[in-house]
Amino acid sequence: MATKHLYLTRRYTAVLLPGSLFLLVGFLACQPKMYPPVTTHEEEAPQRSIRRIDLLSLRALDISENATTFSTQDDEILFLSYLLEKDADSLRVIDQKMFRDLTFDSSKTVYDLPYTLEPDPQSREYSVAAFLLVELDNTGTEDSIMEVYNRALRRFPDAVAPRRLTLDTLIGMDDFLGIHFIRYDQPYEAGTQELIFKGVQLFDRFEYRLSYRMEAAAN
């Protein structure tokens, strides 16, 4: 009798085990799958703003005075750099630098521009660098020339350079070659960068390239 009971118990157990295994497999299959967290590129390397801008050089690729028969075969260029701060509906001048005696010809096509524009850390997100290029066809003191362009900069409260036709209307000067803005809250870019001043001025072509480097702000 004991032997028979043992046989039944073993048979019953053998029947239950496959069913229990089936239920266990089904239970595990219904559990949510766990994946490792995905780290985006932005999280790995967050964008950094600009701490400062170091000017390097101004290079002429196409000298405007070489384009006509009656040209003087050189360009006398005035380069202006500004550190500005956005203030309500205008731009306030914090720092400025004029490079005046830049005469470009076939024998001299590059000038070094050793200057740094670094805003106060507390006002960095409101700071803007501006670069103006002017062909010096008239005389004037440094203060008088600066004052003219200081007033002109107030016409760009959004720190965005408009189209060339609009620029000519706003500035109202035949010797104005162009303007560029760099906001300090924009993403930092490594390596040497260039801003291009290119166009046609009084039937003469011109192209100049400003080289500079950025230093990133700490996170």
The pLDDT-based confidence of 8 (bands split at 50, 70, 90) is very low
> How many whole angstroms separate alpha carbon 93 and alpha carbon 96?
7
Starting at the edge strand found earlier in the chain, the sheet holding 110-117 runs 110-117, 50-62, 204-216, 192-201
- Residue 51 pLDDT: 95
Nearest Cα to 182, choosing from 80, 47, 92, 53? Answer: 53
> How many whole angstroms separate alpha carbon 205 and alpha carbon 66?
8
> How many whole angstroms separate alpha carbon 87 and alpha carbon 91?
6
Nearest Cα to 71, choosing from 62, 81, 80, 79? Answer: 62
Where is average pLDDT lowest: 93-97, 182-186, 202-206? 202-206
Q: What's the CA angle centered on 186, arms 182 and 187, to 5 degrees?
A: 120
- Residue 118 pLDDT: 97
Bigger pLDDT: 45 vs 149: 149
The pLDDT-based confidence of 154 (bands split at 50, 70, 90) is confident
Res. 186: pLDDT tops 70: yes
Give CA torsion, residues 17, 21, 22, 23, to 10 deg.
100
Instruction: Give tens-digit pLDDT for 57-66.
Output: 999 997 755 5
Q: Which domains does the chain have, with CATH numbers?
A: 50-216 (2.60.40)
State the average pLDDT for the chain. 76
Instruction: Give tens-digit pLDDT for 30-56.
Output: 555 544 554 444 455 567 889 999 999
Contacts of 3 (CB under 8 A, 6+ apart): none
Instruction: Give tens-digit pLDDT for 74-118.
Output: 678 889 999 999 887 888 899 999 998 899 988 999 999 999 999
pTM, to two decimals: 0.71
Nearest Cα to 127, choosing from 211, 214, 187, 52? Answer: 52
Counting every residue written for the chain, the total comes to 219
Collapse the DSSP code of 162 into the 3-class scheme (helix H, G, I; strand E, B; otherwise coil) and give the result: coil
Is 149 within 8 Å of 98 (Cβ atoms)?
no
> How many whole angstroms separate alpha carbon 21 and alpha carbon 79?
82
User: Cα(first)–Cα(last) distance of the chain, in Å?
Assistant: 83
Residue appearing with tokens 């956005």: 86
Region 198-214: what's the mean pLDDT? 88
Collapse the DSSP code of 4 into the 3-class scheme (helix H, G, I; strand E, B; otherwise coil) and give the result: helix
Collapse the DSSP code of 48 into the 3-class scheme (helix H, G, I; strand E, B; otherwise coil) and give the result: coil
